[in-house]
Amino acid sequence: MQPFSYVEPRSRAEALRLAQAYPEARFLAGGTTLVDLMKSGVVHPPMLIDVNRIGGLDEIEAAEGSLRLGALARMSDAASHEAVRTQAPGLSESLLFAASGQLRNMASLGGNLLQRTRCLYFRDRHFPCNKRAPGSGCGAIDGENRALAVLGTSAACIANYPGDFAIMLVALDGTVYLDGPAGERAVPAATFHRLPADTPHIETVLAPGEMITAISLPLGALSRQSRYLKVRDRSSYEYASVSVAAAADFAPDGTIRDARLALGGLAAKPWPVTEAALLLAGRRPDDPVAMGRLMDAAVDGARPRSGNAYKVPQARSAIRRAFATLARRSARSVA
Amino acid sequence: MARGAIRTVDTLAAEAVPGVVRVFTPDTMPRLPSVPEQPDWDIMYGSSFVPMADRTIHYAGQPIGMVLAETLEAARHAATLIHYEFAAEEPVVGLDVTTDLAGEPGHEPEQIWLGFVAGYLPGAVKRGSGAAALDHAAVRLEGRWRLSTNHHNPMELVASTASWESADRLTLYETSQHVANHRNGLAKLLGLPRENVRVVASYVGGGFGCKGPVWPHSWLAALAAKAAGRPVRLVLSRAQMYTAVGYREEQWIDLRIGATQEGKLLGATVTKLSATPAWEDWVEPSWYPFTFMYDLPALETRCRLLRANVMAPTFMRAPGEAPGMLVQECAMNELAAELGVDPIELRLRNHADVYPIDGSQWSSKRLKECYRVGAERFGWASRSPTPRSMREGDLLIGMGMASASHTVYRQPASARVTITTTGIAHVAASATDIGTGTATFLRQITADELGLPLDAVQALIGDTGLPEAPMQAGASLTSSLGSAALAAARTLRGRVLALATGTEGSPLYGHNENDLALDDGRILAGGNPTGQTVSGVLRRAGLTELSSDGRFDPGGMGQVRSGDPVRDRREAPRGMHSFGAIFAEVAVDPELGLIRVRRLTGVYACGRILNPKLAESQLIGGITWGMSQALFEVTHMDARFGRFTNTNLSEYMVPVNLDVPVIDVTFLDDPDPYINPLGVKGVGEIGITGVAAAIADAVWHATGKRLRTLPILPDALLDGDEISSTRC
């Protein structure tokens, strides 16, 4: 780890001022990604701006059909929050299935959105990587790529976005709130992350000096019937090979009134499948035609490399499984 | 950089970092007075390679610089600032190359050096004609098993702290499975008398083979400490652990095996392909289980080695047996399916009633009972033999089984037992405790023999100043050192009683020693109190303490010196093995490709079990590792760079708690009068054997797919990458 300076502002304004004055500085929240990457020599900010002492950024509020999560709320606190568990169970699942208890106690929601890829070539500075060292090439594209993306990739980068929470947030039409030199703004969660194209080192729409202050999502029939299905080689403490964030509002006859779908693990960014509402409306989850069309739409344009073709059939099955589970839960709650 | 040479080195920036004391490069590193040579019958080296001695690069991860600093953080940071320029060449790695580093399609070693525990094994075995026997086989099976590179990954990192007490006296605190080996190795390499080197390692946080041999980090720490004139602590990073202390090599094992229509094995050929460094041959003897496990009349084995840009592999849990039993037991299960015979029945038909290597008797063998008891405990009879015939909802259920076995190794060992007038006894030996309970079993044995409560016995371990114990390896420490401790305690008991009965004026003078017993520090005669105590006997003799040394010597060191692995592994003309049977149930989610192990049942006959809790713990750990071998562990090599890609515990997969089901372990009473005075065979290695084969068979039973590439990952179940067993 390279030497760095450390500052601990007590207000948001002071933190933003420091970030503007020191453009290479990084905000430190839970530190579960950043410190790890600093120790690995992947990133080496000369200054850390610890935002943990700033008040008012860790609150969780549910009111008037909306859930608002402070950027500094810890994953474990959000996952176990009564309103999250009951009104957006899929969001709670997406947090609980991630990392370990110890990490969830430290990691912040804002930081969670900014998790970096687990691509082996990104995390080991001895390999070329366009994301870590722009222009050095992509080691993964013809290398060990079993864990990496098949959707949204480019010739410069096939890294996958590794997180879980963001996938559910995208599915449930969440919003990310930012504050920075140009003032406050709100960004749809679905457009917060960027595709790699030829600039894979730029991963989000965050402008220099900007910070995440809060996250929100609408609460309603969809969020109440949401599920996060995480598929991975081992049972816990592993990133998703494929994950499915699904939500469906069922009519009493078991047909779907409205639905949402986003995929994780296999894409360069959280991957919304915007066709879900249209393709499933008026259909039942066990309708093979509708589900087949949805699965086709979900993995349309997939470009597998040597080691990750299995993710395509895995994702198709996981989508069907997630909606089938939602239907069973819905039938049970009606009964 | 996995191959080439250093052209220039610039250390200025590193030296300027605050807190940096010294920076060493291959140009400035002090030289060893002598270098490791293989073989060395007294010292087990990890490799004969000496890094930091010249500018040539042989493998990625090779040490090319060392920074001493006041803090670990400063040292690590400064190390990144040493600027090298390299002349790089294309590395040669991987098993699918057409020519190796030597420009050859590989070579077949005549013999394999496995250090002083196993010595030389032949590079090839020929028993009858395995190839010819296959011609007459009614059923033949042919396949290639691909086993991934695996690493030991003990939780505790490897570390050395070297402290020179004077110009020619070194103390080394080392993460060592064998302090005497590190003492002997460091003394020889540094040109010191052995008595001038002290090595300390009382408790070690897991070793699994990587902390047994002497590796370069130890002597680099010692050389650096000498040059700096102050103690040096060197701790390998987790990533460095992947290239500094060995690993289990990637291996392809080609097997042809044939049987009669009745399922009697006729013969087999086994060819193993793996990679080794440019400077020496390392082969894990994966063919070895084929020589002892079944009544297999004809066998031919070969090893082909490719010279590559890799560091030397080394011993890893159950070396030889872990991969060899996997392939052999998978083959038995595939044959059973071909023949339509129950897997247990096929094993019974090929049971080796005598030791197949030389036709001698077994010292003890209760394998058939392991099958029977295991089948009962597991509920094997409920298995419907047809693949894909057992379901639960979306899940396919599969059951599989395999035999387990491990060779009994015996090593010379010494221990000292001392009793004092305070009523406390000490048992002392240089052995390390790597989590197996060394101190506990030494205290148990001593307490039993001296008639003391466990709390009255203390153990002194892990220091070369103590009586010499063997390597904590090969499931041999408890049996070998325990026998030495038993001998010491028994002698001491005799001496105490001799003092009591042979000293004029003693109230017990003239008593028959055989009539006396020790009980909680008192002396009983004919079972009745005598009013005499051990302390009293010592005091009357003017002693504050009394010591006895004990030794276990398996004869000829129990080591291979003739090149004949059979004769030298044992003293009596008997085959000595632990045996077991392992049963697995898996649930496969065929749509998602997920495999979860739901039950594991193991039944073992391992001689006498000294401590059921410690022994069960060893088996649970070993079985878990076997499951991990089957489903999780792989170190990926990117052949273009000659570099491992997943050198950390986040990306090197091992099971988490949720993956590990309840593991049901049973030990059969297995008295063995031939092995050693304790009758202990050892339990440290057998647990991993057979497990992966049982799980692979359970996966086949669930899905109908024979998968011979390990670990078995979801990809294989989703890609339709099916290998049906081949009749030839």
Closest Cα to residue B347, out of B65, B697, B92, B652? B697
B726 belongs to a structural domain: no
Q: Are residues B376 and B425 in the same domain?
A: no
Domains, chain A, in order of start with CATH, read: 5-50 (3.30.43.10), 225-334 (3.30.390.50)
B685 is catalytic: yes
Q: What is the DSSP string of B174-232?
A: E--S-HHHHHHHHHHHHT--GGGEEEE-SB-S--TTTTSSB-HHHHHHHHHHHHHTS-E
Closest among B161, B153, B312 to B235, alpha carbons compared: B161
**Are residues A222 and A249 in contact, defined by beta-carbon separation less than 8 angstroms?**
yes
B176 and B202 fall within a common domain = yes
Q: Which amino acid is at B501?
A: T
Q: What range defines the domain where residue B230 resides? A: 4-90+152-244
Pair B529, B612 in one domain: no
Is residue B133 a part of any domain in this protein?
no
Total domains present in chain B: 3
Most A CBs within 10 Å: which of B57, B237, B641, B657, as the mutation test of the A interface? B641
| Chain A residues touching B592 at Cβ < 8 A | 231, 314, 317-318, 321
Per the listing, tokens 């190839």 go with: B131
| Shared domain check, B425 and B521 | yes
Query: CB under 8 Å, gap of 24 or more: what pairs does B379-383 form?
Result: B380/B344, B380/B583, B383/B701
Same domain, B165 and B188: yes
* DSSP string for residues in B222-280: HHHHHHHTS-EEEE--TTTHHHHS--BPPEEEEEEEEE-TT--EEEEEEEEEEEE-SS-
Indicate whether B405 and B423 sit together in one domain.
Answer: no
CA distance B662 to chain A (A): 15
All residues of chain B having their beta carbon less than 8 Å from the beta carbon of residue A137 are: none
Structure token digits, residue B299:
């066998």
C-alpha distance from B591 to closest chain A C-alpha (Å): 6
Residue A120 with chain B: CB contacts under 8 Å = 636, 645-646, 651
The 3-state DSSP class for residue B32 equals: coil
Quote the DSSP letter at residue A251: P
In order along chain B (728 residues), what is the average pLDDT of each group of 10 residues? 97 98 98 94 95 98 98 96 98 96 96 84 90 92 98 98 98 98 98 98 96 98 98 97 98 98 97 97 95 96 98 96 98 98 98 93 96 98 97 96 94 96 96 95 97 97 97 92 97 96 91 93 93 94 96 62 44 81 98 97 97 97 98 97 96 96 96 90 96 98 97 89 39
Best of B80, B699, B718, B721 to substitute, by most chain A Cβ atoms within 10 angstroms, is B718
Among B244, B266, B299, residue at a domain's last position: B244
- Count of CA atoms in the C-beta half-sphere (13 A) of B293: 31
pLDDT digits (tens, 9 = 90+) for A280-319: 999 999 999 999 999 999 999 999 999 999 999 999 999 9
B145 belongs to a structural domain: no
Instruction: Calculate mean pLDDT across residues A206-230.
Output: 97
Q: What is the CA radius of gyration of chain B?
A: 27
* pLDDT recorded at residue B451: 96
Tell me, what's the pLDDT at B574? 84
Reported ipTM:
0.96
Which of the two residues, B572 and A213, has the higher pLDDT score? A213
Co-location of B482 and B611 in the same domain: no
Same domain, B402 and B467: no
- B413-B569-B482 Cα angle (round to 5): 30
Look up residue B620 and give its DSSP letter.
Answer: H
Asked if residue B666 and residue B628 are part of one domain, the reply reads yes
Enumerate chain B positions whose Cβ falls within 8 A of a Cβ in A. 60, 73, 76-77, 80, 239, 394, 591-594, 596, 631-632, 636, 638, 640-641, 643, 645-648, 650-651, 653, 655-659, 713-715, 718-719
- For the domain that residue B433 is a member of, what is the CATH number? 3.30.365.10
Is B436 found in the same domain as B543? Answer: yes
Residue B98 falls within a domain, yes or no? no
Given B645, B650, B715, which is nearest A310 (Cβ)? Answer: B715
Report the distance separating Cα B638 and Cα B649, nearest Å. 18
Q: What is the mean pLDDT of residues A149-172?
A: 98
Distance CA B78, CA B96 (A): 38
Q: Please tell me the pTM assigned to this model.
A: 0.96
**Cα A123 to the center of its chain, rounded Å:** 19
Give me the DSSP letters along B368-436: HHHHHHHHHHHTGGG--SSTT--EETTEEEEEEEEEEEEEPP---EEEEEEEETTS-EEEE-S--BSSS
Interface test with A, best of B70, B240, B394, B651 (most A CBs within 10 A): B651
Separation between Cα atoms, residue A83 and residue B405, nearest integer Å: 55
Tokens read off for B721: 């990458």
What is the residue type of A262?
Answer: A
- A144: contact with B, CB 8 A cutoff: yes
Is B102 in contact with B307 (CB distance < 8 Å)? yes
Task: State residue A335's pLDDT score.
Answer: 60
What confidence tens digit (pLDDT) does each residue in A68-122 have?
999 999 999 999 999 999 999 999 999 999 999 999 999 999 999 999 999 999 9
Tokens for A153? 């990739």
Residue at a domain's end among B209, B244, B279: B244
Question: At a CB cut-off of 8 Å and minimum separation 6, what does A288 contact?
Answer: none
| A1 in contact with B, Cβ within 8 Å | yes
Alpha-carbon span B568 to B561, nearest angstrom = 7
